Amino acid sequence: MTPVLYYLPPSPPCRSVLLLAKMIGVELELKVLNVAEGEQLKPNFVEMNPQHCIPTLDDHGLVLWER
C-alpha cells in the first residue's frame, strides 16, 4: 500500500514533500484538499490531523504533518 499525501499543489511545503519523495524514490498516492471549500476542516480529516494543516502524510496509520 502506498503512503497517502494530502496536499495543495501551489503550496511550497507540499512541493517540498513531493520533491523529496521523488528524490528518494517513494511513490505517493496524492489527494488534493480544496482549502477554499474547507475540506481540511471535515471531521474525517480533523480526526486524522487535529491541526488540520497540509501537507499531511498518512503512511499506513502513521500520520505526519507540518507544524
The per-residue pLDDT for range 6-58, each reduced to its tens digit, is 999 999 999 999 999 999 999 999 999 999 999 999 999 999 999 999 999 99
Domains of the chain: 4-65 (3.40.30.10)
Residues 6+ apart with CB under 8 A from 56: 5, 6, 7, 45, 48, 49, 63, 64, 65
Output the pTM of the full model: 0.92
pLDDT of residue 66: 77
Q: Report the catalytic residues.
A: 11
pLDDT reported for residue 28: 98
Q: Cβ of 14: how many Cβ atoms within 10 Å?
A: 21
Whether the per-residue pLDDT at 1 is higher than 90: the answer is: no
